[in-house]
Amino acid sequence: LVAHSMGGLVSRRMMLDRVESGRALGIERYVTLASPWLGNWGAGRGVKRSPVVMAMWRDMDPDGELVGHLFARRLPASVCVGLLFGYAGNNRLMPETNDGTVSIESVLRPEAQAEARFVRGFNADHDGVLSDAGAAEALSLLLGEEGPCGATAAAPRVMRSSSSSYAV
C-alpha cells in the first residue's frame, strides 16, 4: 500500500480498524510519502478560529480525533513500513521547516519513525516527491525483493520498553 499526504493518515486508520475488527490485513508493505502524522497547524487554527469549518480541517487538526489516535495502536510487526518525504518546500506562513505544505516535524513524528524500517528525505517539495527520481528509486527498493522489506531482508528485531514494544 502506497499513500501520499493525507492518504497516509486515512490508510493507516483503515489498516488499524481492519486489524481491530479481527479481519486479515493482507498488506505486507506500507509506504507513505509526505504524510502529516502530527496534523497541520493551519487546519487546527481553522477549526479553532473560522466561523465555517471544513470537515477535512477536523481530520488534520493536531488536536483532533484522527491525528490524536493514529498511533494509539501499532501496525502488525509483519507490515514493513517506509517513510519518504521531501524537504525542499518553503511555505513562509508555516513557522517550522516544511515541504511547502507539511512541516517536517509532522512527517517525522517519532512514533512513525520508530515503526518504520526505512526513512528517507529528498530535495523535493510536497507534490514534487511524487515525481522525484530518488524517491521513485527508494519506493522501488521498498517494494522489491532485494530491499529492506524483501524476502532477503533481515527480520525486524523487537525492542521492548516498560510501556510498549516496537520493531526497528
**Highest-confidence segment of 40-44, 84-88, 95-99:** 84-88
Q: What is the pLDDT of residue 46?
A: 60
- What pTM value is reported for the model? 0.83
Is the pLDDT reported for residue 44 higher than 60?
A: no
Q: Which of 37-46, 83-92, 110-119 is predicted least confidently?
A: 37-46
CA distance 133 to 135: 5
CA distance 165 to 68: 19
Is the pLDDT reported for residue 157 higher than 80?
A: no
Three cell numbers written together for 101: 505544505
CA distance 11 to 17: 10
Q: What is the pLDDT of residue 61?
A: 76
What is each CA distance from 124 to 74, 80, 87, in whole angstroms? 29, 24, 6
Three cell numbers written together for 167: 520493531
